Structure 1
Amino acid sequence: MSADKYFERAGASIAYQFEGSGPPLGYAHGVPLSRKAVRSLELFDVDSLGAGRSMLVYDQRGHGRSTGRPIPEDYLFENFAQDLLALLDTLDITQPTDFAGSSLGCDTALRAAIAAPDRFRRLVLMIPPVAWTPDAELAKQWYFDSADSIEELGAAQWRRQWAHAEPPPIFADYPNYRFSPDVSDALLPAVLRGVGRSDLPAPEAIATLTHPTLILAWDTDPLHPASTAERLHELIPGSSLHVSTSVADIKTWTDRITEFVKA
């Protein structure tokens, strides 16, 4: 991989790599991970998706090698989508882009495609975050509780607790389950509070999308329930949905995405 480049927007310096040749394909990670953290999970191979493509990968603002400010409003979902659109402008990518996103990255893809549908060709929505229901508000309380704990206990203690927390049942026997937060101690509370205040776009806005869309979800994760993926499948005409109930099946996602974006 080439060295990172950076672009500036709204108080953040966004680290990215854009290399290769061929039709453009992009990927955005979720909270509180990064490109490096996603690779360490060894669940799907981000890099192999770029074979024969111009591949864009980047760290969302405040994550990984990207910087940010300790301001919760900076980490509302809407702002991440504007980062993506600005990055496409910076790179002068005018050809419609295939784009995949996990969790927060799923919202980034949705929101950017709603705002600028002609900029995108195909969408891959991975582990959509909990949304739209009373249960969603209960689940999202985790973000606020975690931000409070970081400030009360200190980030080091919170990270130790995180490392020993029980994973969703689907990952109970997976030795590489390590969702290590790749956000600085100084930014973690603001990132978590901004994300906790966010939601997916309104269902009626999502229903306007006409892009071929592949939705990938896994089971037993309260912050990424299969029910959100099922609702997205209902809203997006002609979309395809696959829900995994094992790690072995999650590891088929790389091939599923590769085949989907070939069309």
Structure 2
Amino acid sequence: MSLQPINNIELNILDSQPDNKQSALVWAHGLMFCTAADIESGLFAWKQTSQQHRVIRYDARGHGESQATDNIADYQWTHLAKDMLAVADHSEAGKLVLGGASMGCGTSLIAALDLINSGQKDKLAGVVLVIPPTAWKTRPAQARKYKLLALLNKLKLVPALIPQLTKNKVIAGFLNKSMPYCETVLHRYMASHKKEAYHPILMGSAQSDLPVEEELKKIDIPVLILAWTDDNSHPVSTAKQLRELLPNSEIHLANEVRHVDQWDSQICEFLNRLS
């Protein structure tokens, strides 16, 4: 991984096949996580996919090893989408598949719409959405939680903030029972970010939501949706609604560990079909 100048800051980028200029999956991680957390936890490592396809990962601003800014608007999904497309341009990727988990879903969908609305749809090959977050009717309650956490940080109550960040389960209940080390790894990375970035990161997320229905219907390219049950922060209702709105989408729901284990091969097969 290396820091690269993107949109006036330095973002940490990991490229599995930098010499492959034909196509790439540009991957965005979830809120308060990073590339290292995705890989070390094993949940979103995508080993098979990275061997067969170019996968460009990066730490979002304020996350992992990437630089932080203090402007809340910089962390809204609309701005993170601009970072994602700038990473793709910097990496000289050809046909793009935009993908991510949780916050990365919002980033990917908005970035895809940015390309479509700017007349650059020919750059897009597909979209991969993993554990879509709260959205629309379920977003306000989640936003209130983020605002509370941001307030704790603003009041410099970091000793109270960290337990609040990590007290809730961040993966599906059935996974946590079978793979508790994943939760431990993810909590460690959540608590390791730059403390000064917590407030803008959390407020930026609180001010974000998925695009409205009519906009989403414009995304008529192939879309792969992977979701799991037993997770209030990533409700199945969002994934199912996206399946209804996105005209060329398919969905796979996981309620057992073996289903999640299949996600890497399902993404790889999806990319094989696109190419």
Aligned-partner Cα distance in 2 for 1:155–1:113: 36
Aligned-pair CA distance for 1:164:
4.2
| Gap runs ≥5 in structure 1 | none
Alignment partner, residue 98 of structure 2: 99
User: What are the Cα deviations for residues 230-249 of structure 1, in whole angstroms up to 9, with x where unaligned?
Assistant: 11100111210111113332
Greater shift in the superposed pair: 191-200 or 147-156: 147-156
Match of 1:195 among 197, 205, 219: 205
Could you tell me whether the CA contact under 8 Å between 2:3 and 2:10 is conserved in 1?
A: no
Could you tell me whether the CA contact under 8 Å between 1:129 and 1:225 is conserved in 2?
A: yes
Aligned-pair CA distance for 1:161:
4.3
Counterpart code for 1:87: V
Any idea what SS the aligned residue of 1:186 has? helix
Aligned-partner Cα distance in 2 for 1:115–1:255: 28
Give TM-score scaled by structure 2 length. 0.87
Match of 1:139 among 142, 154, 162: 142
Could you tell me whether the CA contact under 8 Å between 2:13 and 2:59 is conserved in 1?
A: yes
Aligned-pair CA distance for 1:112:
1.1
> Counterparts in 2 of 1:1-263, with a 5 A limit?
3-10=1-8, 12-20=9-17, 21=20, 23-93=23-93, 95-116=94-115, 117-133=121-137, 135-152=138-155, 154-166=157-169, 168-173=172-177, 174-176=179-181, 177-178=183-184, 179-180=186-187, 181=190, 182-263=192-273
| Gap runs ≥5 in structure 2 | 116-120
Aligned-partner Cα distance in 1 for 2:156–2:175: 27
Name the one with the larger helix percent: 2
User: What are the Cα deviations for residues 39-86 of structure 1, in whole angstroms up to 9, with x where unaligned?
Assistant: 222224234322132321111111101112122111011001001111
Any idea what SS the aligned residue of 1:100 has? strand
Aligned-partner Cα distance in 2 for 1:170–1:75: 31
Any idea what SS the aligned residue of 2:149 has? helix
Aligned-pair CA distance for 1:172:
4.0
Counterpart code for 2:14: Q
Aligned-partner Cα distance in 2 for 1:119–1:104: 22
Any idea what SS the aligned residue of 1:25 has? strand
Aligned-partner Cα distance in 2 for 1:104–1:190: 15
Percent identity (aligned): 28
Any idea what SS the aligned residue of 1:78 has? helix
Could you tell me whether the CA contact under 8 Å between 1:143 and 1:195 is conserved in 2?
A: yes
Aligned-partner Cα distance in 1 for 2:129–2:169: 25
Tell me the C-alpha RMSD between the 2 structures: 1.9
Aligned-partner Cα distance in 2 for 1:61–1:213: 26
Could you tell me whether the CA contact under 8 Å between 2:142 and 2:206 is conserved in 1?
A: no
Counterpart code for 1:175: P
User: What are the Cα deviations for residues 147-181 of structure 1, in whole angstroms up to 9, with x where unaligned?
Assistant: 12233463244224444445553344131213321
Counterpart code for 1:18: D
Give TM-score scaled by structure 1 length. 0.90
Greater shift in the superposed pair: 195-204 or 23-32: 23-32
Any idea what SS the aligned residue of 2:136 has? coil
